[in-house]
Chain A
Amino acid sequence: EIVLTQSPGTLSLSPGERATLSCRASQSVSSSYLAWYQQKPGQAPRLLIYGASSRATGIPDRFSGSGSGTDFTLTISRLEPEDFAVYYCQQYGSSRGITFGQGTRLEIK
């Protein structure tokens, strides 16, 4: 299976700052099948980005995704208070299964 490693494990920032979250794959992932999710405590995950760079319906444009091959990035241009949560990357194009990264916790500094 493809292993996704997210970094950092925890990111401490203040509202208004820029957040950069990384997702590295153990082997090449088709950009068409790389997604990012946000999860808040007690809630189901919410799809933010699919196809590495396409925003899901209703997602603010301060969220952007980029990358290809084995290195992908989620950027939040200017943090709002509601953005502090756990973020997961996911690949869903491999014939050997669908996998998630272990998550990055974005906390208020």
Chain B
Amino acid sequence: EVQLVESGGGLVQPGGSLRLSCAASGFTFSDHYMDWVRQAPGKGLEWVARTRNKANSYTTEYAASVKGRFTISRDDSKNSLYLQMNTLKTEDTAVYYCVRGYSSSSPSFDYWGQGTLVTVSS
């Protein structure tokens, strides 16, 4: 069974930093791209960042709203995905979802974690 479990959310002041983690199990993590998607309270979905797999040189992409402040990374030996968030703004307040991305054998965005809440407030 595919499982994605996020952790690391919490309350942080504007300008602060936070690191989210996602523990993956039930599939070959190293085969997949991985993404972070967020959802502000009462709002829609916003894609945040992507890391490709080793076969695609672990290249990364970011939404314009977070580029230069957030860094996505992965550790295939630990089946883990990370999101380092710096210079946080109040508008970064959201539930952050870890999402299984593309592989040659499955569609993108087919499994989502339960989400972790990040609140940026003074």
A interface residues with partner B (beta carbon < 8 Å): 1, 35, 37, 39, 44-47, 50-51, 54, 56-57, 88, 90, 92, 97-103
Contacts and interface: CB of A to CB of B under 8 A. Distances in A.
Nearest to B101: A92
For chain B, the bracket of interface size reads 10 to 19
Contacts of A101: 44
A97 B47 contact: yes
Nearest to B62: A97
A101 B61 CA distance: 20
Nearest to A46: B112
Contacts, number: 53
Interface string B39-58: 00000111100100000000
B26 interface: no
A50 B46 CA distance: 18
A88 B109 CA distance: 13
Given A44-B97, A44-B114, A50 B107 contact: yes
A101 B64 CA distance: 17
